[in-house]
Amino acid sequence: LRRNPGESEFHQAVHEVLETLGPVLVKYPELAERKIIQRICEPERQIIFRVPWQDDRGETHINRAFRVEFNSALGPYKGGMRFHPSVYLGIIKFLGFEQIFKNALTGLPIGGGKGGSDFDPKGKSEDEIMRFCQSLMTELYRHLGEYTDVPAGDIGVGQREVGFLFGQYKRITNRYESGVFTGKGLSWGGSRARKEATGFGTVYFLEEMLKARNDGLEGKTCVVSGSGNVAVYAMEKIYELGGKVIACSDSSGIVVDEKGIDLDRVKRIKEVERRRISTYADEVKHAKYIEDGNIWAVPCEAALPCATQNELNGKDAKKLLQNGCIAVAEGANMPSTPEAIRLFLESGIAYGPGKAANAGGVATSALEMQQNASRDSWTFEHTEQRLHEIMKNIHRNCYETADEFGAPGNYVTGANIAGFLKVSQAMEAMGLI
């Protein structure tokens, strides 16, 4: 705490991991002796820089950008870029810290990193977004490389922004280094199923948790927060597996459609027209829009937080449990507060923490890197099948690790310990790094 004052989200993420590691340090005392915890909590490198850019009226703006290169024991730093006004060092460090363990869980050779800026893309023209991305990359490029650091998208950074960022990298370096960025468009080095991967993966994880309880998604009523990349494809896979989504949201409000959210409509509103989710209720008369509504008050059997950190607190968790919710799968990073997590774990419902449940996105990014390295392009079916296998493996690994360390059914403990062991053993093998 004293070392990183004011970084509350980072403290929260570290606390949540350290709380579960006691039994590991008892079993492997040499890790404690070599101060593995202190090392793993300290980023290998942090870059903070100025991003000056001009709006369409010619006015100058200055934003701050970050890239936290947290841990490269397993591979190049890997993790997305977030553009949101709330971004500061504490957010990027929490995301980068989580990313270390998540990436380890995928079983693929990727280290952990994260970046972003306090730039707000809302209301900006496409030209302004392009100028901002170009200015940001004019500094960031020197820190990147397919063997060094490989960013991707996150909140506020989709394929359009990745295009502007990658284009500027290519221009400055004079290298068509496809593997330096993931989340690219299909015609310029992207992977099929990457766009869908985080949402699909979260629902695969949910399905595995339910299967472990001799249950399944068929006929289950779900609510999904957010209506961005992760939320949209989580909804798509829920429908494919026989579930029904009755509510989704954005930062302004929630939409409830008891007949089932019409996903094609949401895709058009969010992906094509880039409008607010309230548009849905303007178009669909029987749907309800509640400004600043609480999505967790909508009764459901499965809840999928897919918007942002700390969006589900203790009160919300109580409400969900009272209403009969039996499963929570986190598409977002750290969406549940510590109090909410405690209530979920105590209640014994199936609770899949983000670092395991949403790892399908970064896993498919690593598959994009594989395709780039071999100058190949896989089919959608093949890529999705790989994603599905990876999610099943992550589930099994978390489940078995939780059992082994005396916390059966606790995916928080399972994910933290399995991820930690993989990274810490690699670090140990490489000497004092």
* Closest approach of ligand NDP to the CB of residue 168, in Å: 21
> Looking at this protein, which amino acid is placed at residue 23?
P
Strands 244-249 and 221-224, by their bridges, are parallel
- Does 424 show up as a binding residue in the annotation? no
Cβ atoms 198, 331 nearer than 8 A: yes
Question: How far lies 94's CA from each of 16, 90, 104, 136, 311, in Å?
Answer: 11, 6, 16, 21, 15
Q: Judged by CB under 6 A, which of 113, 115, 243, 361 binds ligand NDP?
A: 361
**Residue for token pair 């009160």:** 315
* Closest approach of ligand NDP to the CB of residue 36, in Å: 26
Query: Which tokens hold the place of 174?
Result: 């004079």
Binding of ligand NDP by 226 (CB under 6 A):
yes
Binding of ligand NDP by 236 (CB under 6 A):
no
Binding of ligand NDP by 230 (CB under 6 A):
yes
Binding of ligand NDP by 190 (CB under 6 A):
no
Select the span of 135-143, 325-333, 389-397, 425-433 touching ligand NDP (CB under 6 A): 325-333
Q: CB count, 10 Å around CB of 5?
A: 9
Does 184 participate in catalysis according to the annotation? no
Select the span of 65-73, 163-171, 327-335, 389-397 touching ligand NDP (CB under 6 A): 327-335
Helix (H, G, I), strand (E, B), or coil: what is residue 409? coil
* Closest approach of ligand NDP to the CB of residue 183, in Å: 7
- Specify the residue, 205 or 405, whose C-beta has the smaller distance to ligand NDP: 205
* Closest approach of ligand NDP to the CB of residue 227, in Å: 4
- Specify the residue, 231 or 387, whose C-beta has the smaller distance to ligand NDP: 231
End-to-end CA distance of the chain: 22
Binding of ligand NDP by 151 (CB under 6 A):
no
Phi, psi of 119 (to 5 degrees): -65, 135
Given 27, 35, 93, 114, which residue is catalytic? 114
Cβ atoms 262, 300 nearer than 8 A: no
Binding of ligand NDP by 106 (CB under 6 A):
no
Cβ atoms 225, 398 nearer than 8 A: no
Handedness of CA 212, 213, 216, 217 (dihedral sign): negative
* Closest approach of ligand NDP to the CB of residue 377, in Å: 20
Cα of 376 vs its chain's centroid, Å: 26
Tell me which H or E stretch contains 45: strand 45-54
- Specify the residue, 228 or 243, whose C-beta has the smaller distance to ligand NDP: 228
Cβ atoms 11, 41 nearer than 8 A: no
* Closest approach of ligand NDP to the CB of residue 127, in Å: 20
Binding of ligand NDP by 79 (CB under 6 A):
no
Binding of ligand NDP by 148 (CB under 6 A):
no
Binding of ligand NDP by 294 (CB under 6 A):
no
Binding of ligand NDP by 306 (CB under 6 A):
yes
Q: Which residues of 149-185 are buried (b: 16+ CB within 10 A; e: fewer)?
A: bbbbbbbbbbbbbbbbbbbbbbeeeeeebbbbbbbbe
- Does 158 show up as a binding residue in the annotation? no
Binding of ligand NDP by 196 (CB under 6 A):
no
Binding of ligand NDP by 229 (CB under 6 A):
yes
**DSSP code for 201:** H
Q: Judged by CB under 6 A, which of 9, 208, 250, 257 binds ligand NDP?
A: 250
* Closest approach of ligand NDP to the CB of residue 251, in Å: 3
Contacts 24+ apart (CB under 8 A), 167-171: 167/134, 168/133, 168/134, 168/137, 168/138, 168/141, 169/137, 169/141, 169/144
Phi, psi of 402 (to 5 degrees): -60, -45
Select the span of 44-52, 150-158, 168-176, 397-405 touching ligand NDP (CB under 6 A): 150-158
Region 372-431 residues binding ligand NDP, contact defined as CB under 6 A? none
Residues within the annotated binding site?
78, 99, 102, 153, 198, 229, 365
Q: Catalytic residue positions?
A: 114
Provide the binding-site residues for ligand NDP, judged by CB under 6 A. Answer: 153-156, 198, 226-231, 250-252, 306-308, 311, 331-333, 358, 361
Report the binding-site residues for NAD(+): 198, 229
Q: Which residues are annotated as a binding site for substrate?
A: 78, 99, 102, 153, 365
